[in-house]
Structure 1
Amino acid sequence: MTFEELELDDTLCRAVAEMGYDAPTSIQSLVIPPAMDGQDILASAPTGTGKTAAFLLPACQYLLDFPRTEPGATRVLILTPTRELALQVYEQACAITRFTDLVCGVITGGINYGTDRDTLSENLDILVATPGRLFEHIEKESADCRNIECLILDEADRMLDMGFSGIVGQIAAEARWRKQNMLFSATLEGPGVKYFARDILNEPVELEANPSRKEKAKTHQWYHLADDYAHKVALLKHILLNDIANAVVFVKTRERLQALKDTLMSEQINVAWLQGEMPQDKRNAALARFKAGEVPILLATDVAARGIDVPNVSHVINFDMPRKADIYVHRIGRTGRAGAKGTAISLIEAHDFEMVGKVSRYLGEPLKARYINGLRPKHKAPKVAAKKKSKVVKAVKVKKKKKKNGKKTG
């Protein structure tokens, strides 16, 4: 299938061709036809499979088919959980609409309110926003949602994790005259997303992409055992100095990130970094330096685990393991994107070893250990105790056993 066969406008087809897309991905092929028919969409797809274009293209097609007849406020609103993701969706919206007269804007936290007001004063066709900052403008009456015809929620599961469900519900209520809704999530499992969908969507088409082999991430994964923090740092330095084009290194706290940054830079290893409560201009500058290849290593807390779309990241390194297996999946999704090969390496101290088993079970495949000559651990992997069965389960088993024995003797 081609983009032309999806009956997209020539200007959109020309734009995606210049962006390097030669054919729709599986999620795009699934979403675009029903979305262009005006149906509500509830969809999930693995990271790096073209999800953003899957909702931008039908939204842009709608705006071209039904052009604005008079000046007014935003017509398509896209909500994203993080500033970085908002900026990336905005950049892609600008690229897709470059041969049209459609006007795109973005507002996020950390930006001057005056800049926001200038953006909101334009006749915006598409607005990309983070929920918190947009709601501030709604409360100040500097943002008008009454003209919104299409509401799109990107990474809805992440919005729930970050506690945005109430604000998103209020924004949706402000945009009550909308004609279409689309909700995208990494997974459709769990009651949270279903609850979100029930409140915001109207008889949605439920779509789950099964990416082709070409689209699937080819990420090689393994771990190195570390005796302690110093051993872990030594492992990291060895990995970073040997055959790595670029890498995103995940650290669990801002304090540990700062300590690691200082250690690496003292060893003449140049790094950029992203963390929570960082001024937006500094975030943007750090990401721009990494994207441009000026700095090969990006240190990040989990604020960067989703939404960072940097082509050709060769490695993701978990200096610290995350607290949940699904966060691990989102982290390693920064490499091996759109069918490219990637590598994910985890550095495991004894207190993190239980997470290796959790991640393996979540992925449905083993996570194996590797060793570096000269940096082998002195201690063996700790034994993870089997979980004790609950008293309720034990009681049921005893009861069943008694019944079985009773039948034999009777």
Structure 2
Amino acid sequence: MSSFHALELDDELISAIEKMGYSAPTSIQELVIPDAMDGIDILASAPTGTGKTAAFILPVSQFLLDYPNRDKTSARALVLVPTRELAFQVAEQAELICQFTDLTVGVITGGINYGTDKETLESNVDILIATPGRLLEHIENETFDCRDIESLVLDEADRMLDMGFGTVVNQICEEARWRKQTMLFSATLEGRGVNNFARDILKSPKVHEAVPSRKEKAKTLQWYHLCDNRQHKDALLEYHLKNTVDSCVVFVKTRERLHELKDQLFSKGFAISYLQGEMPQDKRLAALASFKSGETKILIATDVAARGIDVPDVSHVINYDMPRGADVYVHRIGRTGRAGAKGVAISLIEAHDFQWVGKVERYTNESFKARVVEELKPQNKAPTLVKKKKPKVKAKKPKASKAKVRTRKK
């Protein structure tokens, strides 16, 4: 599809898209938007950074423009997302798409005082972006009514399930049972969790799995450095922060490690921002704003930020600590190389984490090779990966069946 005009969107929406710098729909947008505009339920998956947000905001906005809210009821479109950061980023995209229309967008998430929520809900926004937990609180307190919801979107449904929101989301879906359309987006459609989730809330959905074009695919070069110890790892991190990165997200596994590293880098003169769990919302937004504006070039984060950071010019991702799973690794490195841009992902791996080399290669189906910085060569050799042999299972001899003696024969 050569342009957005072929999708039969209103001129106001097309003008907004062109102002945002997009001339043609991505693969996921081309697949989803026509069916979504026909009111069909959607089950879709697409890699990060391929325009997934616009794939649901555009048809939702077109529906609201085609059928205006003359009674000024509460929100008619609801988008549920797993994290606060993602909620604000989806809202930012929605506002840009709706900038030439009269449609309004609101956000409700945990970590924000209820007075702000009250203002949002009383303003009768057209599109509401919310995290499940906080929205359910408003439903239970009867400060939000789902009966006006006509379009429901679940973004990153797999992540919502991972975070334990399955029951909450099902409750919200039941409250919004008068809706006309539901769209569910997930990074992957594999696994029983997402499929069972979809079966419960979607009606005869159209399934779309986007295969991005070469232009859309993330061009992320990835490698690892073998580290002798913590000091060697720190030296490699500081080398890259000083010499190779323009804008970098550094991932660590715990809040304790985050604060250790934050203080350490700050003492060396690095300007940094950081993100972690259980962080006041105003501080989260300030950290992201500082990083997005370029005021700070380095963002240190725990995996709370692995999904939800959408900064177009992140040149590097550095895994200071390896994550808990290969899928999380993929989401981490997805913070760079977005929308076809080039990016670099570097992992700092000590001997006790060397198993990750094989795990990453198997999960991504790509080579994961070591590189060396001349002045910081490792002194130790890489451990040998020993494949575990499956124990031989001895075949059990079938037990001889005993003849059944009936009571009358006794």
TM-score range (shorter-chain normalised) is over 0.9
Q: Whole-Å Cα distance in 2 between the matches of residues 329 and 387 of structure 1?
A: 25
Q: In the alignment, is residue 361 of structure 1 matched against residue 362 of structure 2?
A: yes
Q: Does 1:286 align with 2:287?
A: yes
Alignment of 1:65-104 (within 5 A): 65-104=66-105
Comparing 68-77 with 31-40, which one deviates more in the overlay? 68-77
Give the structure 2 partner of residue 408 of structure 1: none
Separation in structure 2 between the aligned mates of residue 387 and residue 50 of structure 1, nearest angstrom: 41
Distance in 2, Cα, partners of 1:184 & 1:356: 30
1:149 aligns with 150
* SS of equivalent to 2:65: helix
SS of the residue aligned with 2:221? strand
Aligned to 1:403: none
- In the TM superposition, residue 124 of structure 1 has moved relative to its aligned partner by 1.6
| d(CA) in 1 for partners of 2:128, 2:324 | 33
Equivalents in 2 of 1:296, 1:47: separation in Å?
Answer: 22
Within 5 A, what are the aligned runs for 1:147-296?
A: 147-296=148-297
Q: Residue 9 of structure 1: CA displacement?
A: 0.5
What's the TM-score, normalizing by structure 2? 0.95
> 1-side partners of 2:49 and 2:60: how far apart?
20
Q: Using the TM superposition, give the Cα deviation of residue 225 of structure 1 relative to its aligned residue in structure 2, in angstroms.
A: 0.5
- Distance apart, 1:259 and its partner CA: 0.1
Asked if residue 34 in structure 1 is aligned to residue 35 in structure 2, the reply is yes
Q: Which residue of 1 aligns with 2:404?
A: none
- Separation in 1, partners of 2:244, 2:187: 31
* C-alpha displacement of 1:243: 2.6
User: What does residue 405 of structure 1 align with?
Assistant: none
2:51 paired residue number: 50
Could you list the per-position Cα deviations for residues 139-183 of structure 1 after superposition, in whole angstroms to 9, with x for gaps in the alignment?
111111110001100000000000000000000000010000000
Pair 1:327 & 2:328 matched: yes
Match of 1:407 in 2: none
Deviations 1:282-304 (A, max 9, x none): 00000000000000000000000
Query: Quick one: distance in 2 between partners of 1:213 and 1:3?
Result: 20
1:98 partner amino acid:
Q
Q: 1:314: how far off?
A: 0.2
Instruction: Give the distance between the partners of 1:71 and 1:57, measured in 2 at CA.
Output: 21
Deviations along 1:254-282, one digit per CA (max 9) or x if unpaired, are 00000000110110011100000110000
Question: What is the aligned partner in structure 2 of residue 377 from structure 1?
Answer: 378
Question: Which residue identity is paired with 1:210?
Answer: V
Within 5 Å, give how 1:326-345 maps onto structure 2: 326-345=327-346
The residue type equivalent to 1:313 in the other structure is V
Q: Which whole-Å CA distance do the structure 1 matches of 2:96 and 2:386 have between them?
A: 52
* Rounded Cα–Cα distance in structure 2 between residues aligned with 1:258 and 1:123: 41
**How far apart in 2 are the matches of 1:88 and 1:391?**
52
Q: Distance in 1 between matches of 2:112 and 2:315?
A: 31
Partners of 1:167 and 1:391 in 2: how far apart? Answer: 45
The aligned runs of 1:398-409 (5 Å cut-off) are: none
User: How big is the shift at 1:323?
Assistant: 1.3
| Offset at residue 103 of structure 1 (A) | 1.2
Q: Which amino acid aligns with 1:238?
A: Y
Deviation at 1:74, TM superposition (A): 1.0
Unaligned residue ranges in structure 2 (runs of 5+): 398-410
Q: Aligned partner of 2:146: which letter? A: C
User: 1: distance between equivalents of 2:389 and 2:258?
Assistant: 36
- Residue 313, structure 1, aligned to residue 314, structure 2: yes
Aligned to 2:403: none
**What residue number does 1:402 align with?**
none
The secondary structure found in structure 2 opposite 1:360 is: helix
CA distance in 1, matches of 2:42, 2:308: 20
Q: In the TM superposition, what whole-angstrom CA distance separates every residue of 1:359-387 from its partner, at most 9, and x where no partner exists? A: 11001111000011121111111122212
Shift of 1:352: 1.1
Read off the aligned partner of 2:80 and give its amino acid letter.
Answer: L
User: Residue 132 of structure 1 aligns to which amino acid in structure 2?
Assistant: G
Aligned position for 1:352 = 353
SS in 2 for 1:146: helix
Aligned equivalents of 2:258, 2:200: Cα separation in 1: 39
> Across the two proteins, how many residue pairs are aligned to each other?
396
Shift of 1:390: 3.9
Residue 391 (structure 1) shift = 4.0
Give the Cα separation in 2 of the matches to 1:230 and 1:251.
16
> SS of the counterpart of 2:120?
helix
Give 3-state SS (helix, strand or coil) of 2:243's partner: coil
Cα distance in 2 for partners of 1:33, 1:26 equals: 12
Which residue matches 2:138? 137
Q: Distance in 2 between matches of 1:230 and 1:277?
A: 29
RMSD: 1.1
TM-score after normalising by structure 1: 0.95
User: Which residue identity is paired with 2:153?
Assistant: I
Q: Which moved more, 1:135-144 or 1:382-391?
A: 382-391
**Pairwise CA distance, 1:122:** 1.4
**Offset of residue 31 of structure 1:** 0.3
| 1:37-82, Cα deviation, whole Å (9 max, x unpaired) | 0000000001000000000000000000111120211100000000
SS of 1:241's equivalent? Answer: helix
> Which segments of 5 or more consecutive residues in structure 1 lack a partner in the other structure?
400-410
Q: Deviations along 1:90-147, whole A, 9 cap, x unmatched? A: 0111111111111110011110111001101112210000001101111111111110
Who is 1:113 aligned against?
A: 114
Per-residue deviation at 1:308?
Answer: 0.7
Structure 1 Cα separation of the partners of residues 124 and 371 of structure 2: 56
Mapped partners of 1:253, 1:230: distance in 2: 18
